[in-house]
Chains A and B, each alone.
Chain A
Amino acid sequence: MLLEAKNITFSYTKKKTILDNVSLGIEKGERVALVGPSGCGKSTLSQILAGYMKPDKGEVYFDGKLLPEKGYCPVQLIYQHPEKAINPRWKLGRTLTEAWEPDQELLDDMGIEKEWLTRYPIELSGGEMQRFCIARAMGPDTKFVIADEMTTMLDVITQAQIWELLLHIVDKRNLGMLVVTHNPLLAERICTRVIEFDKM
C-alpha cells in the first residue's frame, strides 16, 4: 500500500463524530475517487491524509511508515480554493518556486504562460491560479496527490483542461491519486476505483 489510513476517528465537536473508524488503502499508480454528499467529511479526511490535521484516533501510513510531520510531505493536497492557497502578496513566479524549481516542460504541460509569473494572484483567474497550485505541488518528492474538489468552482471547459493536464502528469510519473468529489460522473471518467464515503 502506498497510502493507508487505519481506523481514523475525528470530530470537530463532542456532539458529532464526523469520521468514525475509517480505513482506506490506495496502491501506487491507482486513481481512487472518494464520492459523497457535501458536509459528510470528505475534505476532513483528505486534510488528515495529507497531514494538515491530526486525527483523534488512528494513523496515516505512507509507504509502510507513519506520514512524516516535518520536511517535504510526499502526500500533497491540492485545495478547493486556489486563491486561498496562494500568498496574495507574492508574485506568482515566487509562489511557483516556493517548493521546488519546475522546468519549462512542466510549465508547458500545465499551460502556464511566462507573463503570468510577474503578476499578482489578484490579476489571474481561478483556473489560472489552480494551474500554479498543481505545478507547485508536483515536486520530485511528491508521490501521491490528493485533489480536494479541485475544479468544483471552475467552468466546465477549464475543468476538463485542468484534469487532462493533471492526469497527464500523474500518468507520466506513476503517482497515486485520491480525487475527492461529489460528482459521480467525473469520478467514473477519471478514476480506476470509486469509493462511496457512506459505505466505508
Chain B
Amino acid sequence: MKKMNRRTKTVMLVIIIAGILLIISAAGLLMNPALYEPNYAAKKLPPCAAHWFGTDYLGRDMFCRTIKGLSNSIMLGTMAAVFSAFMALFLGIVSASVGGRADKIISYFVDLVMGVPHMVLLMLISFSLGKGLKGVVIGVALTHWPNLTRVIRGEVLQVKNMQYVKASKKFGKSNFQIACHHIIPHVMPQFLVGLLLLFPHAILHEAGVTFLGFGLSVDTPAIGIILSESLKHISTGMWWLVFFPGIMLVAVVMLFDKLGDNVKLLIDPSSAQE
C-alpha cells in the first residue's frame, strides 16, 4: 500500500475533526429533551454505566446535558463567528481599497473596540440587549471582528501593490477581474482560517459571559450555566459536575483550533504540494 503523504493525512484529520464537531452539534440538536430532564430518583450519582458523567442535585443526566450544552455553544459560535468574519472581510476590503476617509473611520472603530476588554464590552452589549441568546450572539459578533479586519486590510493593501497585480492591469484586466482573480483569492485563506479560529473565542466568551450571569438564562443547558451551577456543589465533593463538562469544553475548543491550523496548512501554497 502507498504510504499516505502529509497532505492526505492533513485532509483526513480535517475531515475527522469536522466530523466529530458535526456529530456533537447534530446529537445536541436532535436530542430528546426527556434525556436531560430532572429525575429525582437518581440524584447526585457519581459517574456510572447508566450516567457516564454522573447526575446533578436534580437528577439530570450530565452527559446529555453537556452534549446539549456543547451543541448550543457550537451553534451560537457559528452564528457569531460567521457574522463577525463577514463583517471583517467587508470592512477590511473597503478600508484598504477605498482608502482615505473610509479607512480612517474603520481603523478608528477597530482601535476603539480593541481598546476595551472583550469581556467588559460583551457584558455591556449582552446586558443592554436583555441577555438571552440574542444578547450573547450579537455581543460576541460585535466584539470579535476587529482583529480579522486588521489582518484582511493589511493583506489587501499588500497585494494591491504587488507587481503581478499591476502587470495584470497592463494586460487589460478590469478592477473587478483583478479583485476576483487576485485579491479575494489572496485574502481567502486568511479569511477562512480567521473564521475557524474565531469559533473557540466565541465559544469561550459565550461560556464566560454566561458563567458570569450576563448571558443565557439559567434553565438553558449551556456549558457556562452548567459550570457556574456546579461550582456551588464542588465543596460537597461532587467533582464530576464540573470536571467532565469543563474537559469537554476544552476539548471542543482545541478541536476547532486544530481544525483551523490544519486548514491553514492545506491552503498555504508554500506547503500545498508537500
Contact = CB atoms under 8 A, between A and B. Distances in A.
Contacts of B168: 98
Contact of B170 (A50, A88, A95): A50
Most buried by A among B166, B168, B173, B273: B166
Contacts of B272: 120
B164 A76 contact: no
B171 A72 contact: yes
Most buried by A among B162, B168, B171, B186: B171
Contact of A73 (B163, B170, B185, B270): B170
Contacts of B269: 88-89, 120, 122
A145 interface: no
Nearest to B168: A98
A12 B170 CA distance: 22
B147 to A, nearest CB: 23
A125 interface: no
A99 B166 contact: no
Given A84-B163, A89-B186, A120 B172 contact: no
Contact of B172 (A72, A84, A85, A87): A72
A49 to B, nearest CB: 12
A13 B185 CA distance: 34
Interface string B236-261: 00000000000000000000000000
A122 B186 CA distance: 16
A93 interface: no
A112 B164 CA distance: 20
A199 interface: no
B172 A98 contact: no
Given A89-B269, A120-B269, A122-B269, A51 B170 contact: yes
Contacts of A120: 269, 272-273
A54 interface: no
A50 B169 CA distance: 11
Contacts of A16: none
Interface in B153-176: 162-164, 166-168, 170-173
B170 A77 contact: yes
A98 B171 contact: yes
Most buried by A among B163, B172, B269, B270: B163
A71 interface: yes
Contact of A85 (B167, B173, B182): B167
A79 B163 contact: yes
Contacts of B182: 87
B170 A85 contact: no
Contacts of B167: 77, 79, 85, 137
B170 A76 contact: yes
A139 B170 CA distance: 12
A87 B186 CA distance: 9
Given A71-B172, A73-B170, A77-B167, A84 B185 contact: no
A86 B164 contact: yes
Contacts of A50: 170
A163 interface: no
Contacts of A122: 269-270
A84 B273 contact: no
A123 interface: yes
Interface string B130-165: 000000000000000000000000000000001110
A99 B171 contact: yes
Given A95-B164, A98-B168, 18 more contacts: A50-B170, A51-B170, A52-B166, A52-B170, A72-B171, A72-B172, A73-B171, A73-B172, A77-B167, A79-B163, A84-B163, A87-B162, A98-B171, A99-B171, A119-B273, A120-B272, A122-B270, A123-B273
Q: Which 8 A-B pairs have the closest CB atoms?
A: A72-B172, A99-B171, A73-B170, A84-B163, A85-B163, A71-B172, A87-B164, A120-B269
Interface of B: 162-164, 166-168, 170-173, 182, 185-186, 269-270, 272-273
